[in-house]
């Protein structure tokens, strides 16, 4: 470890920025890029450990594309081109920018959920292209040389990575909640905040081992409301493997809950480790709340194919979650006057 006095911080930071190298300075030492931790969501100043392939990485809390600039691209040995905070916006000239091109083999094998490679087809960006919605929740995005450009800036990697679609890849994240109750059925309040504690259905992702919401991709032509219900049923209740009787019972309870007035928490771009300069995740996150605890709360949770584990978890500010999911829960907790 290199220990330097405070007078060296500014000139070293300037030098690293000019060279296009990442940096991470603290008041006591200079750390290598592999010894820093990632923040959970750009607007928050509290830092938390990100434990998947994007771990050991720190950036400014005000910078965009934090997880989208993780050094090692998920599920591969591909290293992103290092992009410092101040070089993320496209409006900043950076002639030294040489992003790595990578599209995962599973995408190149032409599965039904993925676009062909560029040059093999002519997609209609920023519009409804047949059944595929290529519009962005962020508004119109730029297309240069027939290739869509990430509206939030540089990520250090071109191509599609693990994402199937060029441009926006639409997902839906159902946030199913209930009040935490004691053995007498009374709401449990947090000892410090004195506010009631909300619980949500959390899964553990198989690809990175992180806790997350049981969401998934919107199929072409599918309504988001149906995606929310389908993904929750498949990932949190394993409805695909249920008996006919259990499927009917699950469908009845889930349909009643998801037909209720949901609280839309977020609609837009997601800072996801799979993002690239040409393909990125967007989502619609909606909260469905079991107020009385006698709806979905009574169904046994069982992980589906995409989830390693599923359980009810207390919502709390210290809970590390995948991508931007922590921010979604914060909005839910504050909207429902619950502990955060």
pLDDT on residue 63: 78
Q: Which residues contact 186 (CB under 8 A, 6 or more apart)?
A: none
Listed range (36-45, 188-197, 295-304) with the worst mean pLDDT: 36-45
CA distance readout (Å), 183 to 126, 127, 180, 188: 52, 52, 10, 10
Q: Which residues contact 331 (CB under 8 A, 6 or more apart)?
A: 265, 266
Give φ, ψ of 105 to 5 degrees: -55, -35
pLDDT tens digits for 238-250? Answer: 767 778 888 888 7
CA distance readout (Å), 223 to 103, 167, 213, 220: 28, 19, 19, 9
pLDDT on residue 62: 64
Residue 105 contacts residue 43 (beta carbons within 8 Å): no
pLDDT at 1 over 50: no
Instruction: Name the pTM for this structure.
Output: 0.75
In this prediction, residues 50-64 reach a mean pLDDT of: 48
Q: What percent of the chain has pLDDT over 90?
A: 55
pLDDT on residue 228: 87
pLDDT tens digits for 70-101? Answer: 999 999 999 999 999 999 999 999 999 999 99
Instruction: Out of 112-121, 178-187, 318-327, give the one with best mean pLDDT.
Output: 178-187
pLDDT at 193 over 90: yes
Measuring CA to CA, which residue among 187, 173, 185, 176 is closest to residue 338?
187
pLDDT at 29 over 80: no
User: How far apart are alpha carbons 156 and 113 in whole angstroms?
Assistant: 25
Q: Which residue has the higher pLDDT, 276 or 255?
A: 276
How do 167-179 and 279-290 pair as beta strands?
A: parallel
């Amino acid at each position: 470890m290199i220990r330097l006095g405070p007078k060296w911080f500014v000139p070293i930071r300037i030098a690293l920025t000019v060279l296009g190298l990442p940096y991470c300075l603290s008041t006591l030492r200079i750390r290598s890029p592999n010894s820093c931790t990632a923040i959970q969501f750009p607007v928050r100043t509290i830092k938390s450990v990100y434990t998947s392939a994007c771990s050991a990485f720190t950036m400014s809390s005000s910078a965009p594309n934090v997880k989208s600039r993780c050094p090692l691209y998920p599920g591969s040995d591909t290293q992103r081109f290092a992009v410092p905070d101040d070089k993320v916006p496209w409006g900043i000239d950076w002639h030294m920018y040489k992003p790595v091109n990578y599209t995962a083999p599973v995408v190149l094998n032409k599965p039904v959920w993925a676009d062909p490679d560029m040059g093999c087809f002519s997609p209609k960006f920023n519009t409804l292209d047949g059944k595929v919605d290529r519009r962005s929740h962020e508004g119109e995005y730029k297309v240069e040389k027939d290739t869509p450009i990430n509206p939030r800036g540089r990520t250090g990697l071109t191509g599609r990575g693990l994402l199937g679609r060029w441009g926006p890849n639409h997902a839906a994240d159902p946030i199913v909640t209930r009040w935490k109750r004691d053995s007498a059925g009374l709401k449990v309040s947090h000892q410090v905040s004195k506010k009631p504690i909300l619980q949500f259905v959390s899964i553990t992702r198989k690809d990175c081992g992180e806790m997350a919401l049981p969401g998934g991709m919107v199929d072409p032509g599918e309504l988001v409301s149906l995606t929310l219900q389908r993904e929750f049923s498949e990932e949190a209740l394993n409805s695909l493997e249920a008996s006919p009787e259990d499927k009917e019972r699950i469908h009845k309870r889930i349909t009643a809950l998801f037909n209720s007035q949901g609280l839309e928490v977020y609609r837009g771009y997601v800072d996801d480790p799979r993002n690239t300069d040409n393909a990125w995740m967007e989502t619609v996150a909606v909260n469905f709340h079991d107020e009385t605890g006698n709806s979905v709360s009574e169904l046994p949770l069982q992980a589906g194919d995409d989830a390693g584990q599923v359980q009810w978890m207390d919502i709390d500010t210290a809970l590390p979650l995948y991508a931007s999911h922590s921010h979604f829960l914060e909005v839910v907790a504050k909207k429902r006057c619950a502990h955060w």
